[in-house]
Chain A
Amino acid sequence: MRPDRWKKVKQIFQAAMDHAPSERAVFVSDACAGDEELRHEVESLMSSDGRAGAFLDSPAYEAAAAIIVDNKSGLKKGQTIGPFEILSFISRGGMGEVYLARDPRLSRNVALKILPAAFTKDVDRLRRFEQEARAASALNHPNIITIYEILKADSTHVIATEFVEGETLRQRLSRSTFTLSESLQIAIQVADALAAAHKVGIIHRDIKPENIMLRPDGYVKVLDFGLAKLAEDSPDVSMEEALTKQVRTGSGVVMGTAGYMSPEQARGKAVDARTDMFSLGAVIYEMVTHRKPFDGETPSDVMAAILKSQPQPLSEFFSDAPPELSRIVMKALQKDPEQRYQVVKDLLIDLRSLKQDLEFQEKMGSRAPAPPLQTATASVIPTSSTGEVRSALSTITDSLTIEIKRHRIATASSVVLLLVVLSAGAYGLYRYFRHAPVYFQTTKVTRLTNSGKVIDATLTPDGRYVVYTLSDARKQSIWIRQVSTANDKVIVPPADVGVFGITVSHDNNDLYYVIKQQLDKGTLYRVPVFGGTPMKITEWLDGPVTLSPDGKRMAFVRGSFPAEGESALIVANLDGSGEQVLAKRKRPLAFAPIFFTGPTWSPDGELIAAAVADVTGPSHVIAFRVSNGKETDLTPAGQPFIARTLWLPDMSGLLMIGGNSAADSQVWLAPYPGTCARSPTTWNNIVTSGCQKKPTSL
């Protein structure tokens, strides 16, 4: 088009645009004054302008930026940097480019990482990074990559490390799947590396598949210790930036994800070693399921998922996932660091035990426990859907009920099973009532013993061990079993005594137990959970003790006290001194333990719940205020039979085992302070007590 012609078109087009759309045609027709070609030109531009759809609306800027980034940078084959000669480009990540290089001085190949300039501006930070990276390397750990040199060549900072032949876990994940055993082997090695580093105070902060190298011989090497911290500290590069995304080469720029960042990292809070725990949990999850536990379309979505959502259960994607593995991974992935494993060492122990366990089962030719062990699987609860919670819990109790009916004679052992489930269920119910998503995973109810000789059991507060009482050939003994390994160890050897009540201290270290040689005159002992010399503490107890949340006091029931025909609920110091009677009952009422029932100290320390039996009618669970003895009946309707009670952690109620008799008992929920607001219905078998005139039977 000739410029003068264009000028005319422009004039009319732009003037027409100043008119209302309805007037434009007339205006253009007039303005063109018979010049049909001109009119056609203007009208066609107007029609083009009016067309729907985006055109040049979003600048190509971003694409250009992406291409700029994607262009492979500087170093070419044969180029030297310091003493090193570049052989080839290996990769580029958020933390810099990596080249394969040759160190002619030692005739060895090294991996050369070029640190982005943004990371190396602050000399102090760089020095701290160097110290940390060297310290990790100096551990000489087989799973931590060895750093040969950190040097400055020209103005570039480079790290020369051991060159690991093999592929990153990311590459491997994109290529194939892992067997469970392979996943565990990798996880164990990474955990081992982290445990060693954490021990000397080094946190990795960026555990992800890209930073885990797999050697063909099965060795795993963890890369880039301390580097995330350097990036985090760099003024130009936020932590988020360094961790959220990594720019990958290949077809275009692919945004990496924040999928392995711990919630505290995502929030930009201070992190400690437990952040690595979370990231490792995410990596294990991905190895097992081939999915990221937290995913989303954009990094913001991923971040939101990390902060807010619960990962899908492992079993959703991997039906054979051992429940223990789910437990381990979900524990590592807890949003609250306090809820995770506190040290990687513990995670490592559990992973190793699980691996041994699986290998053992494999040798035995079966992954599932061999008959006659019975296993009941409860339904999966992926969300906070209350219906599913109920069904899962009722499935647990269904299976328990079956157990009870099947083993009428061995009623005691059924109650034992209920006790353990009760302890395990309390946390889930607690979460449920807090309206937090409940994570039961595949709640597997598994018989732990098959002898029929277990008469009492309790979980240690950390959930890792079951302490149980065995009655065999008129002799009773106390044992401890590691849940994950099914390893048994005797704490109190068999003796011709009655063990009435076992209580583990809140710090998981001590076991308090009551030995009775005559009715209602028990003696309280304390022994280290893993065995030792029992210490006698006090006498004349009629059942197990309960410990105050601060671990300083205990409470118990004493029969025939203060006078014959009376019984009392007593609070005392842990060494047995300073006894105080909190409450007493006179026949026909009595604090009478049935099946090792003892009082239960509430989590806030203010109340003690105790079962009061009535020989003329149903029993009740009463909450006594520690400060003044004030009473609240938690079960106004009463129960013919009440066994163990357990407070929910948030004090919203009390779980208890109750029913018509020991052989016909269920898990009940007694709301506290006694309102029914949060438990309007009868759960299939978990029944809300205190709300109905009569408890619903099975």
Chain B
Amino acid sequence: MSSSENVSQLLVKWGEGDQAALDKLMPLVYSELRRLATNYLRRERQNHTLQPTALVNEAYLKLIDQKSARWQNRAHFYGVAAQLMRRILVDHARQHQAAKRGGPSQERLSITSAGQLGEKPDLDLLALHEALEELKAFDPQQERIVELRYFGGLSIEETAEVMSIGHATIERDWKMARAWLRRKLE
């Protein structure tokens, strides 16, 4: 079984609600993203910025057998990628926090220095993560939108496509979720 068939099937399974499929998917997607990200970061890009969805698109094309791909695969794949990104960042922030607790001699890693987030340096990623968990409890759709937009780097249009929801709704939900998160975090 080639890895692309593997990924396609796992995506379908995950789409059907099989959470174990996600755990199998993550390392596959991760290794492909890692390879692509390495290339991307080495490549000359305008303003150093990665084309937000280019990575995922590329990983998707590499991992999925396009002949047998269904459009849902793509949506699911973006979902996996966004979740993966979120998980990586949160793990990283936790490690960072642990390191800070370890004392001043520990290596200090900041998200912004690592990736030039373009955000205020004090954006607390763990707080954001926890707020999102809270948001998920009463508005899972908004939480998903934030995940896809912020962690997955999707545009409004792409998010709309992936979630099969109209633009206008995505835009309004995004606006509100952002307002709520901002109030929560600031």
Contacts and interface: CB of A to CB of B under 8 A. Distances in A.
B42 A94 contact: yes
Contacts of B40: 65
Contact of B34 (A14, A71, A237): A71
Given A241-B44, A252-B109, A299-B44, A63 B139 contact: no
A64 B180 contact: no
A54 B118 contact: yes
B41 A253 contact: yes
Contacts of A94: 42
Interface of chain B: mostly helix, strand, loop or mixed: helix
B49 interface: yes
B23 to A, nearest CB: 18
B105 interface: no
Contact of A60 (B30, B55, B111, B176): B111
A68 B118 contact: no
B41 A3 contact: no
Nearest to B178: A56
B138 A6 contact: yes
Interface string B171-186: 0100110111111001
Nearest to A58: B118
Interface string B105-133: 00111111111111110000100000000
Given A251-B107, A253-B114, A60 B139 contact: no
Given A59-B151, A61-B153, A252-B114, A68 B88 contact: yes
A251 B118 contact: no
A56 B33 contact: no
A6 B138 CA distance: 7
B152 interface: yes
B35 interface: yes
24 contacts: A48-B179, A49-B176, A49-B178, A51-B186, A55-B181, A59-B150, A60-B115, A62-B115, A63-B114, A64-B84, A65-B40, A65-B50, A67-B88, A67-B114, A68-B88, A71-B34, A73-B34, A116-B35, A117-B35, A237-B39, A244-B42, A247-B38, A298-B47, A298-B48
Nearest to B149: A59
A14 B172 contact: yes
Contacts of A298: 47-48
Contacts of A46: 179
Contacts of A252: 109-110, 113-115
Contacts of B67: none
Nearest to B115: A63
Nearest to A55: B182
A424 B139 CA distance: 78
Nearest to A258: B44
B55 to A, nearest CB: 6
Contact of A63 (B42, B84, B89, B146): B89
B166 interface: no
B153 to A, nearest CB: 4
A69 B43 CA distance: 13
B43 A64 contact: no
Question: Which bracket fits the contact residues of A?
Answer: 35 or more
Given A55-B178, A56-B119, A60-B125, 17 more contacts: A44-B183, A55-B182, A56-B182, A61-B85, A61-B153, A62-B116, A63-B116, A65-B41, A65-B85, A66-B115, A68-B34, A69-B34, A241-B39, A245-B41, A247-B38, A251-B109, A299-B44
Contact of B183 (A48, A63, A67): A48
Nearest to B180: A45
Given A60-B151, A61-B151, A54 B120 contact: yes
A563 interface: no
A255 B138 contact: no
A56 B55 CA distance: 19
B30 to A, nearest CB: 7
Q: Which of B41, B42, B138 has the most CB of A within 10 A?
A: B42
B156 interface: no
A60 B46 contact: no
A376 B3 CA distance: 73
A59 B88 contact: no
B85 A244 contact: no
A181 interface: no
Contacts of B176: 10, 13-14, 45, 49
Contacts of B118: 54, 57-58
B149 A56 contact: yes
Contacts of A73: 34
Contact of B89 (A55, A67, A244): A67
A17 interface: yes
Interface in B124-168: 125, 137-139, 146, 149-153
B49 A62 contact: yes
B52 interface: yes
Given A46-B179, A48-B180, A60-B85, A66 B43 contact: no
